[in-house]
């Protein structure tokens, strides 16, 4: 198959950043995706409804003409988020979820949750109202190996949380392990997971073998190939609880190419093309549309997009870098070929 027509996809996990960076990040996503769940880990974090609505306006200002893109906003769960703010968020048509970062787990997570028991009333209110909780699922204990932090989170935090509030709607974000695949598969239909293009296409050898490659460094960190395989099998399985979320997370080049580099991979410049490449490698192009364009919308209770995207197996070369405010950002596949192209977006 060399041409593929699918319902326009959505990105269920995206970092757009703020300020001048939006001039780059927003058009990259808006030209192919109809909607995106926008992560709230700015400095300071998007911690209430008013901040989310202001941020939404800043995003909309730079959406190019003729690209009807809808940013779906989220709030950052701090220890201080109130039960009344949850009700306000639920009532607002532009706010779709609350994001849980364990404090210290990842980029700009300092204001995250320090003790899950402290936010229990907020989580119970979310369950009552049907507002989804999006989780960065890694423990932060210094004595837990970085490659084991997702599995440990599932065992010690997530599993007890589901026992305590089984009605809570949860998306386990950017899953990276076979344990996460198995856990989500075995649970009831309230829990789903997003999978990134980099965790499908790469493993920790790409990060570490033959030299350390900072542009492959992200959190949760790339795992060994058996986990990559489990994620791939989940993505192409047709199970509607695994869907697309790029976790495209740009950082200026100099903040990654340094002695203590930032975590995050910028995939938005070729995201749907890279996913398509993966599904093609797996001989599973017929499973792409569900994963990319149907399952996420269904889980969030939103209508599926009506626009369509046409992809062709026609290689193009990813630029070495893009402007990123006053700096530059290095995209996933920089200077190398991407096998598929988007040739048309039809309304
Ligand atoms: C993300 C970022 O840079 O905001 N980084 C990453 O490595 N994934 C944060 C996150 O999603 O954990
Ligand atoms: Zn994360
Ligand atoms: Zn992320």
Ligand nearest to the CA of 137: 2
Using most ligand atoms within 8 A of CB, pick from 216, 248, 263 the residue to mutate for ligand 1: 263
Q: Which atom of ligand 1 is nearest to the CA of 219?
A: 7
- Ligand 1 binding pocket includes 219 (Cβ within 6 Å): yes
Q: Which domain holds residue 59?
A: 11-303
In a domain, 214, yes or no: yes
Closest CA to 251 of 324, 306, 186: 324
Task: Provide mean pLDDT across the span 173-198.
Answer: 97
pLDDT in tens, 281-315: 999 999 999 999 999 999 999 999 999 999 999 99
In a domain, 324, yes or no: no
In a domain, 330, yes or no: no
Ligand 1 centroid, distance to 266 Cα (angstroms): 10
pLDDT in tens, 196-235: 999 999 999 999 999 999 999 999 999 999 999 999 999 9
Ligand 1 centroid, distance to 263 Cα (angstroms): 6
Start-to-end C-alpha separation, the chain = 23
Q: Measured between alpha carbons, how far is 231 from 233 in angstroms, rounded to an integer?
A: 5
Ligand 2 centroid, distance to 284 Cα (angstroms): 27
- Ligand 1 binding pocket includes 21 (Cβ within 6 Å): no
- Ligand 1 binding pocket includes 181 (Cβ within 6 Å): no
Task: Provide mean pLDDT across the span 171-198.
Answer: 97
- Catalytic residue numbers, as ranges: 247
Ligand 1 centroid, distance to 313 Cα (angstroms): 30
- Ligand 1 binding pocket includes 25 (Cβ within 6 Å): no
Residue 183 has pLDDT above 90, yes or no: yes
Q: Measured between alpha carbons, how far is 242 from 77 in angstroms, rounded to an integer?
A: 23
Ligand 3 centroid, distance to 1 Cα (angstroms): 32
Ligand 1 centroid, distance to 259 Cα (angstroms): 18
Single pTM value for the model: 0.98
DSSP string, 193-258: EEE-HHHHH--HHHHHTTS--GGG--SSPP--HHHHHHHHHHHTS--TTEEE---B----HHHHSS
Residue 180 has pLDDT above 80, yes or no: yes
In a domain, 328, yes or no: no
Q: Which atom of ligand 1 is nearest to the CA of 13?
A: 11
In a domain, 327, yes or no: no
- Ligand 1 binding pocket includes 35 (Cβ within 6 Å): no
Alpha carbon distances (Å) from 227 to 16, 204, 274, 346: 28, 10, 19, 36
Q: How many domains does the chain have?
A: 1
Scan for tokens 């192409």, then name that residue.
236
Task: Indicate the average pLDDT of the chain.
Answer: 97
Tell the residue nearest (CA) to atom 5 of ligand 1. 264
* Residue 92: strand, helix, or coil: coil
- Ligand 1 binding pocket includes 106 (Cβ within 6 Å): yes
pLDDT in tens, 315-327: 999 999 999 999 9
- Ligand 1 binding pocket includes 247 (Cβ within 6 Å): yes
Using most ligand atoms within 8 A of CB, pick from 264, 265, 266 the residue to mutate for ligand 1: 264
pLDDT at position 188 is 85
In a domain, 168, yes or no: yes
Closest CA to 161 of 114, 124, 113, 112: 124
Residue 1 has pLDDT above 90, yes or no: no
Q: Left (φ > 0), alpha (ψ -120 to 50) or beta: where does 333 sit?
A: left
Task: Provide mean pLDDT across the span 179-203.
Answer: 97
In a domain, 323, yes or no: no
pLDDT in tens, 117-175: 999 999 999 999 999 999 999 999 999 999 999 999 999 999 999 999 999 999 999 99
pLDDT in tens, 270-282: 999 999 999 999 9
Tell the residue nearest (CA) to atom 6 of ligand 1. 264
Q: What is the CATH number of the domain that holds 240?
A: 3.20.20.140
pLDDT in tens, 59-95: 999 999 999 999 999 999 999 999 999 999 999 999 9
Residues near ion ligand 3 (Cβ under 5 Å): 247
In a domain, 183, yes or no: yes
Closest CA to 335 of 241, 215, 238, 231: 215
What band does 14 get if pLDDT is binned at 50, 70 and 90?
very high
């Amino acid at each position: 198959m060399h041409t593929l027509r699918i319902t326009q996809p959505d990105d269920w996990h995206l970092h757009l950043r703020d300020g001048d960076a939006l001039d780059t990040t927003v058009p990259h996503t808006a030209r192919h995706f109809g909607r995106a769940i926008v992560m709230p880990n700015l400095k300071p974090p998007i911690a209430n409804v008013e901040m989310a609505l202001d941020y939404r306006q800043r995003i909309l200002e730079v959406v190019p003409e003729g690209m009807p893109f809808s940013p779906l906003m989220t709030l950052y769960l701090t220890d201080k988020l109130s039960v009344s703010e949850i009700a306000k968020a639920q009532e607002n048509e532009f706010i779709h979820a609350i994001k849980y970062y364990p404090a210290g787990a990842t980029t700009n997570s300092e204001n995250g949750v320090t003790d899950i028991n402290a936010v229990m009333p907020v989580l119970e209110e979310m369950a009552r109202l049907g507002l989804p909780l999006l989780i960065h699922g890694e423990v932060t204990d210094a004595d837990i190996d970085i490659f084991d932090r997702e599995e440990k989170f599932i065992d010690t935090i997530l599993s007890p949380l589901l026992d305590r509030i089984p009605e809570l709607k949860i998306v386990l974000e950017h899953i990276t392990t076979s344990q996460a695949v198995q856990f989500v598969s075995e649970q009831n239909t309230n829990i789903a997971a997003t999978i990134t293009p980099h965790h499908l296409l790469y493993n920790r050898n790409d990060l570490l073998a033959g030299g350390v490659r900072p542009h492959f460094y992200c959190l949760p960190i790339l795992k060994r190939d058996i986990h990559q395989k489990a994620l791939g099998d989940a993505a192409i399985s047709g199970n509607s609880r695994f869907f697309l979320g790029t976790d495209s997370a740009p950082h200026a080049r100099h903040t990654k190419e340094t002695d203590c580099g930032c975590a995050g991979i910028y995939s938005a410049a070729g995201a749907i093309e890279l996913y398509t490449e993966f599904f093609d490698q797996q001989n599973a192009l017929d499973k792409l549309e569900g994963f990319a364009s149907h399952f996420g919308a269904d889980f969030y209770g939103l209508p599926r997009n009506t626009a369509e995207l046409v992809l062709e197996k026609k290689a193009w070369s990813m630029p070495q870098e893009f402007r990123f405010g006053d700096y530059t950002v290095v995209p996933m596949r920089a200077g190398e070929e991407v096998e598929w192209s988007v040739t048309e977006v039809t309304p």
